[in-house]
Structure 1
Amino acid sequence: MKAVTYTAFGPAADVLNVQEIEARPPAPGEVTVDLAYSGVNPSDVKARAGARPGVTKPPFPVVVPHSDGSGIISAVGDGVDNSRIGQRVWIWNGQWQRAFGTAATQITLPAEQVVDLPDPVSLQTGAILGIPGLTASHTVFSGGEIEGQTLLIHGGAGTVGFLAVQLAKWGGARVISTASPRNFDRVKDAGADIVLDYNTPDLPEQIIAANNSQLVNRIVDVEFGQNVEIDTAVVAENGRINAFGSAQEMSPTLPFYPLMFKSVTLEMVLVYLLTSEVRAAAALRLNKALVANALHCPIQGVYSLEDCALAHQAVEAGKRSGAILIETI
């Protein structure tokens, strides 16, 4: 099979190569997927660059990058129903703790890591559902149903935030989101009831005012370290903060007593480590929202396997309006 590989950390143009590698048939409990698209996420780019603290070399001699993807099951191992052959699927954790990810024409992995893709949904959309989709679904619904509640979603213009706003509205919540003023229309189009400038100095007061002088029930946060004081000020008693990022401040000071005396639940979300039961619930919600036409997954660019380095550079550049995909067919 043809695959993008790297054997050392470094700039994308220097270390990513396309080569033929041997395909592996499915073992018991596994499936082989003929890939159509591979999603490129910030975590994939950071892993290739060697940006993770304390990691000095790739974990495997040869790495095929990327965790997310979509395609069609072409073979199954013992213990997997033959009826799965021919199914359109989306993939999660393709390269998590494994050498070979989705930047290839094929991938073989445990059957539970491929999810049926509803017929109305494109394979391009399917390649977005692994990391950003599951993160959005889990952070919005972790803790139970949200109908009638108010959610604050920080960074509603980002890849996860944009999906989270849509899912929260689909779930029946009132949504307040933060964003840069240049992205206000984008976040409003996603369904946010109120969009506020995340740089405004009186943001906590504006959030509370936007919620009819009430505190908010739940918070989805992409920059927990920067926002912890804001979150503490605006979260309601027995509220919940689901944080999936803190790149700007990795060692925040936690206002323990103010949070404790509101009995706030704080969840640090790492989508790679969701339990099977929790992940299945998040995946089911994604598929239901897609079938209901309640979830739009924008795509900024689609690249060839040979242009994978350009795709990585597009993710590194930031300020994207949609996902970056590799066409693997």
Structure 2
Amino acid sequence: MALHSVVPYSLISRNSIISIYTLKTASSVSQSTGLFPKLVKMAPTNAAAWLSEEKKHPFEIKESPLGKPEANEILIRNHALAINPIDGLIQTKAFFPLHYPIILGQDVAGEVISIGDKVTRFKPGDRVLGHAVGLMAGRNEACGFQTYTILQDNLACEIPENISYEQAVVVPLCLSTAASGMFQEDFLHLNLPTEPRTASTGQTLLVWGGASSVGSNAIQLAVAAGYEVITTASPKNFDYVRRLGASLPFDYGSPTVTEDIAEATKNKVLAGAIDCIGTTTTATCVDIVRRSQGKKFVATVKGGFAPPTDGIQVKHIFGTTLKDNFVGKTVYKEFLPRALQSGAFLPSPEPLVVGTGLEKVQEAVDLYWKGGISAKKLVVLL
């Protein structure tokens, strides 16, 4: 194609033509004679939203080292990040010791750039979502709030073409949290989810806070594992939790909610309860489990509860523990790809995009911290 067919000829300076000719000639000569150095593709550069010290506000946007994936890891170029409560808690409260500077963020979705030697599930160019678990290990390159992130391949899943990055990124951490509490042997130890859906177990799971991010995932996982789901939500979100698979929603704000659920479950066998809100609601879940037939176990997203003295177990969920056991592999490799592809699993809740660029991460964290977000998850695009 002639140069003037794409650029008005009058706008092409003599120097521009000479420069283009020189570059083209140099490239040709280098290939044929080796007299000129070859044009080298520049390595990508990374940037991150750094938390440079305890309780620092705002995040500092600056360069970050570009990690290299180990044997069972992948490097992705992030196109969407999501915000979780833990991000604001660490920034504002610094409630457990960390070695600063650090990068926060656990929910990512993007394109695979390179893979480790033992990775067979993914290849460069694949669209994936993943749970970035570098924070507690002190690996900033494996954290989320940056342009490039390293992921364990057992905590990543390919995204179908009909699902956007902003939709996919709402899934990882809260899926991991729900799955850790529901399927690990030292928690509820429920049957594992399958796609197609498994036969009914005849048991019922109580999901407290079904419209929350963790609750939205817990409902769908439980249904896929063959359990009936009873849940709580505000009345405006009843249709939402029903779409996810809950059979009986109850108004968490009702003064009779405990009695209502206890009455509804008196002839059912409970598989236990997962408390997706925590603190005061944990005691309510314990009360309901105490009155019901079945497993006397409550998995909860927050600690600080008083241990029951009547044989009921209550345990705090850490959403990263599945990275080292069969649950991570089962959920991210065997269940989720099929369920996303078939439409049996819906990325939930819906994304609420705050903006584009790492500079928007602080705004998104602040917005979440103000409260008032219901059945939505805050997302930043890159």
> TM-score, normalization: structure 1?
0.82
For structure 1, which segment, 152-161 or 20-29, has the greater mean C-alpha deviation from structure 2 after superposition? 20-29
What does residue 86 of structure 1 align with? 125
Shift of 1:95: 3.4
Aligned equivalents of 1:67, 1:140: Cα separation in 2 = 20
Residues 1:226 and 1:83: Cα distance change in structure 2 (over 3 Å): closer
Tell me the secondary structure at the aligned position of residue 94 of structure 2. Answer: coil
One-letter identity of the residue aligned with 1:169:
V
Shift of 1:113: 4.3
Structure 2, unmatched stretches of 5+, are 1-45, 192-199
Residues 1:137 and 1:286: Cα distance change in structure 2 (over 3 Å): farther
What does residue 168 of structure 2 align with? 126
What does residue 319 of structure 1 align with? 372
Counterpart selection for 1:8 from 34, 38, 53: 53
Counterpart selection for 2:320 from 242, 258, 272: 272
One-letter identity of the residue aligned with 1:239:
K
Identity %: 23
1:238–1:265: 8 Å Cα contact kept in structure 2? no
Aligned equivalents of 2:123, 2:337: Cα separation in 1 = 17
**Is residue 2:99 matched to residue 1:59?**
yes
2:108–2:132: 8 Å Cα contact kept in structure 1? no
2:204–2:268: 8 Å Cα contact kept in structure 1? no
Counterpart selection for 1:71 from 110, 116, 119: 110
Residues 1:39 and 1:166: Cα distance change in structure 2 (over 3 Å): same
**Is residue 2:80 matched to residue 1:37?**
yes
Counterpart selection for 1:17 from 49, 60, 65: 60
Aligned equivalents of 1:82, 1:226: Cα separation in 2 = 42
Tell me the secondary structure at the aligned position of residue 129 of structure 2. Answer: strand
One-letter identity of the residue aligned with 2:90:
A
For structure 1, which segment, 122-131 or 108-117, has the greater mean C-alpha deviation from structure 2 after superposition? 108-117
Aligned equivalents of 1:212, 1:7: Cα separation in 2 = 53
Q: How is 1:171-250 mapped onto 2 (pairs within 5 angstroms)?
A: 171-211=225-265, 213-214=267-268, 216-235=270-289, 236-246=292-302, 250=303
Aligned equivalents of 2:172, 2:121: Cα separation in 1 = 24
User: Across the two proteins, how many residue pairs are aligned to each other?
Assistant: 314
Root-mean-square deviation (CA), in Å?
A: 2.8
Higher relative contact order, structure no. (Cα contacts within 8 Å, ≥ 6 residues apart)? 1
Structure 1, unmatched stretches of 5+, are none
1:216–1:234: 8 Å Cα contact kept in structure 2? no
Aligned equivalents of 1:171, 1:322: Cα separation in 2 = 25
1:9–1:15: 8 Å Cα contact kept in structure 2? no
What does residue 281 of structure 1 align with? 330
For structure 1, which segment, 315-324 or 219-228, has the greater mean C-alpha deviation from structure 2 after superposition? 219-228
Residues 1:121 and 1:139: Cα distance change in structure 2 (over 3 Å): farther
Tell me the secondary structure at the aligned position of residue 360 of structure 2. Answer: helix
Counterpart selection for 1:299 from 351, 360, 376: 351
State the Cα deviation string for residues 96-125 of structure 1 (Å, max 9, x = none). Answer: 222232222212354444333344443223
